[in-house]
Structure 1
Amino acid sequence: MTERLKIASWNINSVRYRIDIVGRFLKEEAPDILCLQETKVVDELFPHEAFHALGYSHRLLHGQRMHHGVAIVSRVPLIEDDRLDWQANQEARHIGVRLPNGLRLENVYVPAGGDVPDAELNPKFGQKLAFVERMTRWSEGLTTPTILVGDFNIAPLECDVWSHKQLLDVVSHTPVEVAALARLQASHQWVDLGRHFVPPPGRLYTWWSYRAKDWAASDRGRRLDHMWASPQVARHAVAHKVHEDCRAWLKPSDHVPLVTEFAF
């Protein structure tokens, strides 16, 4: 018997402020699991009732007041959980679970890294690179089939940004970040599901700045959000979609959700 599993990931930029569009997305897309980043809420104030009413009765949280925060809400049971401190300062940037079929699902929010791509001038940039390096060390030891999702805050390919030339010195697309992400990907032979289904140079943005007066007209997007899978898991991926339309909804996040469907 084939088991279908639909997993979504979304940097929501405050889950309480945007709970209406989260609810709309869940009603329209009906993923089995939704991984959220940048929830910006302590666990005690998470909007449990809204998710429970929509059938997402399994919820695991790693929250933080005003900043960061990740959560996994699900219609299927979530077994055990981890909260790894890849930032090395107790920021709430990771939560991982085991699914009933034995797979691991890891939800991560990589630091943005500030504005200056120089670790000496900008400690936040150094913290971001160190975060990815710690993830790489973890990834090297993985033996369990795993799905890794979240806001990586790095757009790795030239076609993952609206202008490769203009963004080469802009944090999220600098050569040092791209190289760090490539080492992470190689450490477990992760399959980038977005580019598996939309090969380069196909357009595949997930983020548009709030600074643009008309984000759609200027279309200065970047692919900062990703879904990766262990090679043995990626073989079961049957569909992948970036829900760009959500960027135009009322009170939108600057990121849009990704959805991958698996058939096991």
Structure 2
Amino acid sequence: MTFTLATWNINSVRLRAELVLKLLAEEGPDVLCLQECKSPVDKMPLEAFAAVGYGHVVARGQKGYNGVAILSKIPMQEVGSHDFAALGHARHIAGQLENGVTVHNFYVPAGGDVADRAVNEKFGQKLDYLMEMRDWFRENRPEKSILVGDLNIAPREDDVWDHKKLLKVVSHTPIEVEHLAETQDAGGWQDVTRKDIPDGRLYSWWSYRAKDWDGADKGRRLDHVWASGDIASAAHSSRILRDARGWEKPSDHAPVFATFDL
């Protein structure tokens, strides 16, 4: 079975429902994982997505904040969600496809503006969230699984526009990168995107603050696709749909794609 999966921080699924429909129509992924839906599940435009073939949905919603959803053409059943760090946030959902593959969709906390948990509670919550993810995957070693989402960390030097300038900026600090690496190692996860695109600068997020985001190109790779070690070799054709960042009233993130033969 060959299927293509995409992950996209949509920054309000109700506000950008037309962009989701545009992506589904033009790119046709079999599975689309959305983050930062900012809506209770019963208010998400799921009927519109079902009308174009994405009738299988698992989701966790929250009014105005957070929220994750998986839309699928392929039959899928919910297999759980977890409230890491006990934040009470809708940041994780897992669905299992009919071929037995489990898809984990994550929205890791952004962490605020100051990279010091002593003065910034949000940064501490982010680190705690990652540590609980690490411990959970260490105890529940994933098999035949894919982890995607806005992990809010750009781990590699070429995942940001300027490594030295961003070392003290939340999303690229050494402690965040270390915590993410520990989480990845604990689950035996492999970075599918960088397996397929090993060299060069690669971004999936560009700030709204930049008037000319494309020309300035001061991006970060915050959105990820990982696979458990047993199926990582079945992944290929990774890409980031940069053009979506330039659509009308866009999200500040671009969708990340990968194809699997399983």
**Structure 1: how far apart are the matches of 2:142 and 2:4?**
23
Partner-residue secondary structure (3-state), 2:78: strand
* 2:142–2:187 contact (8 Å) kept in structure 1: no
1:193 equivalenced with 2:192 (yes/no)? yes
Shift of 1:83: 1.4
Shift of 1:77: 0.9
4+ residue runs of structure 1 moved beyond 6 angstroms? none
Aligned ranges for residues 43-192 of structure 1 at < 5 Å?
43-140=41-138, 141-192=140-191
* Structure 1: unaligned runs, 5 residues or longer: none
- Which residue of 2 is the match for residue 230 of structure 1? 228
**So what's the TM-score if we normalise by structure 2?**
0.98
Shift of 1:139: 1.1
**So what's the TM-score if we normalise by structure 1?**
0.97
Selected match of 1:8 from 6, 9, 17: 6
* Structure 2: unaligned runs, 5 residues or longer: none
**Structure 2: how far apart are the matches of 1:222 and 1:83?**
27
Partner-residue secondary structure (3-state), 1:166: coil
Shift of 1:143: 4.3
**Structure 2: how far apart are the matches of 1:218 and 1:20?**
27
**Structure 1: how far apart are the matches of 2:89 and 2:113?**
20
Shift of 1:224: 0.3
Partner-residue secondary structure (3-state), 1:64: coil
Counterpart of 1:84, as a letter, is H
Counterpart of 1:69, as a letter, is G
* 2:141–2:188 contact (8 Å) kept in structure 1: no
Partner-residue secondary structure (3-state), 1:167: coil
**Structure 2: how far apart are the matches of 1:44 and 1:61?**
10
Shift of 1:135: 0.5
The CA deviation string for residues 152-186 of structure 1, in whole angstroms up to 9 with x for no partner, is 00000111000001100000000000000111111
Counterpart of 2:244, as a letter, is C
Identity of aligned residues (%): 51
| Root mean square deviation, CA, Å | 0.9
Work out the number of aligned pairs and report it: 261
**Structure 2: how far apart are the matches of 1:233 and 1:79?**
20
Selected match of 2:248 from 240, 247, 250: 250
**Structure 2: how far apart are the matches of 1:69 and 1:232?**
29
Counterpart of 2:124, as a letter, is G
1:41 equivalenced with 2:39 (yes/no)? yes
Selected match of 1:214 from 209, 212, 215: 212
Shift of 1:8: 0.7
**Structure 2: how far apart are the matches of 1:115 and 1:25?**
31
Shift of 1:188: 2.1
Shift of 1:81: 2.5
Partner-residue secondary structure (3-state), 2:86: coil
Shift of 1:104: 1.0
Partner-residue secondary structure (3-state), 1:229: strand
